[in-house]
Amino acid sequence: MGTNRILGVGNDDVPECLLPHVGFGKNLYADFLVCPLAPEREGWMRIVCIDSASHMVVEVRTGAVAGDELRVQNVAGVCADS
């Protein structure tokens, strides 16, 4: 939040401990430490891998319709590749 940068992350470039917190109907907010896999090009999405995430907050939609209530959950600790 607060940036216009767009980063692309492949399925194999996410620590396993993040997988339960991402998916349809979920929003994950965190302080991510990312490693670039491609050079910076103005106006292009940059491909990165996620090294770690901290200060995680997950929003989970309670129903399948836009506008349904969101449940907010803080996730303790740091998630990182082992």
Q: What is the pTM for the complete model shown?
A: 0.76
How many CA atoms are closer than 13 Å to the CA of 32, on its beta-carbon side?
19
Task: Give the Cα separation of 60 and 41 in Å (integer).
Answer: 33
Whole-number CA gyration radius for the chain: 14
Per-residue pLDDT of the chain (82 residues; tens, 9 = 90+): 666 778 898 778 888 888 888 888 888 899 999 999 989 888 899 999 999 999 999 988 876 666 667 788 888 788 887 6
- Give the residue among 31, 21, 32, 14 at the shortest CA–CA distance from 71: 21
Token pair belonging to 18? 């993040």
Alpha-carbon torsion 10, 69, 66, 6, what sign? negative
